[in-house]
Structure 1
Amino acid sequence: MEFDLKKRHCYWFHEISKIPRGSRNEKAVSDFVVQFAKDHGLQWHQDEVFNVTIDKPASKGYENASVLILQAHMDMVCEKTAGSHHDFLKDPLDLYTDGDLLKAKGTTLGADDGTGVAYMLAILEDETLPHPPLECIFTTMEEIGLLGAEKLKKEDIHGHRLISLDGGGEVVTAASSAGGCDVNLDIDLHMVTNSDPAYVLHVYGLQGGHSGGEIHKERGNANILAVRILEEAESAGIRINLVSLEGGTKDNAITREAEYVFTTAADPSGLLASVKKSAAAIKEELKISDPGFTADCTPVRMPEEHAGDSSSSALLDMIYLMPNGFQHKSLAIEGLTLTSLNLGIVHTEGNHVHMQTLIRSALESGVDNLLGILRKLSSILDISMEVVTRYPGWNYSQVSPMRDKYAKVAEAHGRKLEVSAGHGGLECSIFKGLDPAMDIITFGPVSRYIHTPEEELDLASFDRAYDLLKEIIALCKD
């Protein structure tokens, strides 16, 4: 199928694909959108983080309709194949068609969320489309934590209904997303002279996965499992003194591998027997969800220092006792995780140990409860705790006039709207936090393998979805 640049949504996708727009590098594409507004005589505003809002007055017959917000993010995930020489700071994407699919040579395509940006530009320039007053919001830094949307101000948003164009599936809309909260936990270990043999506990072979999309699958977290093994050794009478802990690099990824170095004066055979016993029990527990789990304990060079009994126990106890993983499910939507948290990073530098956990919940009370538990534990164990970032959740609502309009358009084309909900974060939750009464749907064409160099956009769906979007907008006459 041809990628027809005579179609304006295709043309605008092609144009923005010429502009490097990785997260934190959106100024050029933001300025491009501003220039578009100037060229079309539309009112616009660009803020300090390069979010852009463009307003378009209602078409004839829609003057009394309420404002409709359209929204998409301008940034994209920048990933490339091992052999690619693409420079995401200066090179345009090299688009090509493969049958009915649009791809980029050796890189991510940026359909997430370039399709939404292209749709808005095409709609804003279309003088034939019937529509209510439009407030088109182009955000930045979505892919690294919804950072652009977090800078939006309530007084700058004038609509109370929203079509987020960061969706997909053509006739699929999200109805909920999790709020999030990053928490840092830190401790300075009190190091003392060591005279005991040292070992490294290596936990590996776990599947890991995204802490939003896979947390309900009960996969093992290497940080949590390593500490469990050491705590069970202590319960068997084996004194453990920590030296260093390493596990994970991202708080939104379930940790697949960890290496914890420690010392003990215990008989080696007793230590290894305890580790083996714990590992066998864990492997049985994970035989369905994470069958590759493995734990090895091997001698390493004796360090000059190890953590004293008090601080070593405090750190082990913190990780052992803190909640982690799947916590609660939604009773309104089948299969939806409501609340979770993930200890994604444990890192040691000198005597300082840094831990980072990510809390997710569609309910603010769910986040508050877990924060309360972590605060109590960290206070008891004298571990520093800091809430770094927090964004609200978008909880499911049974009543949604916008969702009804979407369903009506889908039905007119002989299709049924599919309502989904996820445990990841969406910019929708930011808008819901600014306006709890906001009526929201998500929308977008079919694309696959997002955030990878294999990303592809279904061109027929790209065309069909654009027509569906125009029909939904035309129904917004109230």
Structure 2
Amino acid sequence: MSKQIETDSKKEGPGTNIPQIIEQFEGVGSDSSFSPSPRNVEFENAKSDVKFEQDKSNIGKASLRFAGAGAEFQFKKSSIHDLFPAQLWKHFSELNNIPRESRKTEKVSKFIQQFGISLKLQVKADSLGNVLITKPASKGRENRPSVCLQSHLDMVCEKEVGSSFNFDTDPIITKIVENGEFGPKLTGNGTSIGAGVAAAMAILEDRNLIHGPIECLFTVDEEIGMIGARALSPDFITSPYLVNLDSEEDWRITVGCAGGFNFENRIQVKVDKIFNPDVHSSLKIELGGSISGHSGCDVHQGQSNNMIQLARLLRGAQEGVVAKSQRGIEKKKEKEDDNEKFKFNIYDISGGTKRNVLPQRAEVKIIIDKKNEKKFREKLEELYDDIIDEYEAVEPNLFLKIENIQISEEDQNNIITHEDTTRLISIILTTSHGILRMSPVTPGLVESSINFFGIKYKKDEEQHTIIQGFFARSSSNSQLELILNTNKARASLLGIEMSDPDSFYSGWSPDINNPLFTAAKEAFIEANAGKQPEIYCVHAGLECGILKQIYPKIFAISLGPFIQNPHTIRESLHLRSLEPFYSTVTKLLERI
């Protein structure tokens, strides 16, 4: 991997021109209680036939970058209606025209309700916007047990820095690219969520399917703590069987998932109005370009948390650390005492985005004596070499960017004292992130992890606060409690305030001794030409765990098409996985 550093002279390497996301994470509440249970092709307007044609604009900036080694794929189908299942693709296209970010699902909820009404089916919705559409059984199947198909309506909204795309108003833009090993894939944020909802809609609309009674449950605000599912009343659904449509690996039947909760650390800092334009330089330092990923499914890949790595660079400059890549580990001790140490003050810091997204980038703004600026820049670049060497295998696009900027009059009031600047860097450096424990039962499965997903500086006249955001996951509720108590102890030792855990949900324990799993396995084998499914528990959150708490007698599985890089600007849906996924669901309905 080549070294990528940008300074005012625009020193660049491959990948430095890739725009990265910059969006503040959403805060979490502090009033909840922790009560773990025991144990290039665009879609045209969807109102007409949706054509696939070469991308001729930069509109893709608002959706996803392409992943994979292949070139753009000229798809042979001229219309979305040529694809199978046609009804699924029709609804997928319609959904892409409806804004549906978490907490902004009113339009899509009303759209789903109107869809059910147009089919003359029974429709009900609760005050949050969760929707249930009930379809009667096929003739002669009225006495079969009911199956609930469940998907969620909201999506994670990620876009590239500098994009003018507006998730509140603009339709999702998707493209088809050739991916070599897996064939063509569709990229465009929201693909996985759209596929599950569209599949349920297609099943509701298809009058030729053979099935017993069907309930289709569409929940809201799953991506920010499964809020919709947690608010369901015990009588909202009646089915004894639940099929969640939110999985992301088409070769698996998912039978279990991790639970989780999020929390914040609030670090109070003191400020000092010390800026002197004749003495100080103002610098913005950005470490970015991480491949990011889903904070559950991708946490095992070892990506760089650039908030921690940026703190590492700053501490190295403070302490005069000699970069191993520059001087050699054998010379470290003899050189360290003679190496220059730098003093500076932070006046702004930001990084990360949302709780279920691994952070891509981090940024800090500092003031430093002008006489030390040049050597300070050189020191950061030397220390950055160590990070490049360590992450070469997984982070091909990392970059360091250092530039002079003007400090505003307002920010001159936000300059953190040198003492608290050092303390803040120490707190960030000692922050937990990544895998905490692998499963002792299932080889290769992450049992427990924590995502340090965001940092921001909240400034007001009375108080200056650095806020860190965290999202913990585990398939063990006792481990979730341990993570909570460990972080409480750490906060107490460091003298920082930790919020109460928010949006807690239990994990989903596997149970395969039931008719639903048996029927699902048989349906999978038939839909996949005799191939056996992999039975799997995922280190991510699915609503099945919450729904099983509300409806303790329900049996559940989860299915889905093949999704890569979920919750990132590289999210993609592999087209060849849609037909067997949809076929598995419909054949499952025939068997119940």
Q: TM-score, normalised by structure 2?
A: 0.64
* CA deviation string 1:128-149 (max 9, x = no partner): 5443432210123345554433
Q: Give the Cα–Cα distance (whole angstroms) in 2 for the partners of residues 274 and 394 of structure 1.
A: 45
Q: CA deviation at 1:71?
A: 0.9
* CA deviation string 1:23-50 (max 9, x = no partner): 2554344334323433444332112232
Whether the 8 Å contact between 1:338 and 1:362 is mirrored in structure 2 is yes
| Structure 2 residue aligned with 1:43 | 122
Tell me whether 1:253 sits opposite 2:366 in the alignment: no
* CA deviation string 1:82-122 (max 9, x = no partner): 9999876667778999999796xxx8385433333333334
Matches within 5 A, 1:6-155: 9-10=87-88, 13=91, 16-17=94-95, 19-23=97-101, 24-59=103-138, 62-63=141-142, 65-76=144-155, 108=188, 111-126=191-206, 129-143=209-223, 145-155=225-235
- Could you tell which deviates more after superposition, 328-337 or 125-134? 125-134
Equivalent residue of 2:257, what SS?
coil
> Alpha carbons of 1:301 and 1:155: their partners in 2 closer, same or farther (altered >3 Å)?
same
Matches within 5 A, 1:177-192: 177-192=257-272
Q: CA deviation at 1:376?
A: 2.0
> Alpha carbons of 1:454 and 1:352: their partners in 2 closer, same or farther (altered >3 Å)?
closer
Q: Give the Cα–Cα distance (whole angstroms) in 2 for the partners of residues 288 and 91 of structure 1.
A: 36
Matches within 5 A, 1:343-358: 343-350=452-459, 351-358=464-471
> Alpha carbons of 1:98 and 1:318: their partners in 2 closer, same or farther (altered >3 Å)?
closer
User: Number of aligned pairs?
Assistant: 472
Q: Give the Cα–Cα distance (whole angstroms) in 1 for the partners of residues 382 and 170 of structure 2.
A: 54
Q: Give the Cα–Cα distance (whole angstroms) in 2 for the partners of residues 80 and 239 of structure 1.
A: 36
Letter in 1 for 2:454: I
Equivalent residue of 1:182, what SS?
strand
The share of aligned pairs that are identical, in percent, is: 24
- Could you tell which deviates more after superposition, 435-444 or 225-234? 225-234
Q: Give the Cα–Cα distance (whole angstroms) in 2 for the partners of residues 84 and 289 of structure 1.
A: 26
- The partner residue of 1:204 within 266, 283, 287 is 287
Whether the 8 Å contact between 2:100 and 2:107 is mirrored in structure 1 is no
Give the number of the structure whose residues are more often strand, by fraction.
1
Name structure 1 gaps, 5 residues minimum.
Answer: none
| Structure 1 residue aligned with 2:542 | 426
| Structure 1 residue aligned with 2:478 | 365
Letter in 2 for 1:9: Q
Whether the 8 Å contact between 2:308 and 2:428 is mirrored in structure 1 is yes
Q: Give the Cα–Cα distance (whole angstroms) in 1 for the partners of residues 234 and 470 of structure 2.
A: 29
Equivalent residue of 1:173, what SS?
strand
Q: Note the aligned Cα RMSD (angstroms).
A: 4.7
> Alpha carbons of 1:423 and 1:262: their partners in 2 closer, same or farther (altered >3 Å)?
farther
Letter in 2 for 1:227: A
Q: Give the Cα–Cα distance (whole angstroms) in 2 for the partners of residues 342 and 86 of structure 1.
A: 27
> Alpha carbons of 1:352 and 1:62: their partners in 2 closer, same or farther (altered >3 Å)?
same
> Alpha carbons of 1:189 and 1:333: their partners in 2 closer, same or farther (altered >3 Å)?
same
Name structure 2 gaps, 5 residues minimum.
Answer: 1-76, 321-336
Q: Give the Cα–Cα distance (whole angstroms) in 1 for the partners of residues 467 and 193 of structure 2.
A: 33
* CA deviation string 1:367-387 (max 9, x = no partner): 322222222222333322224
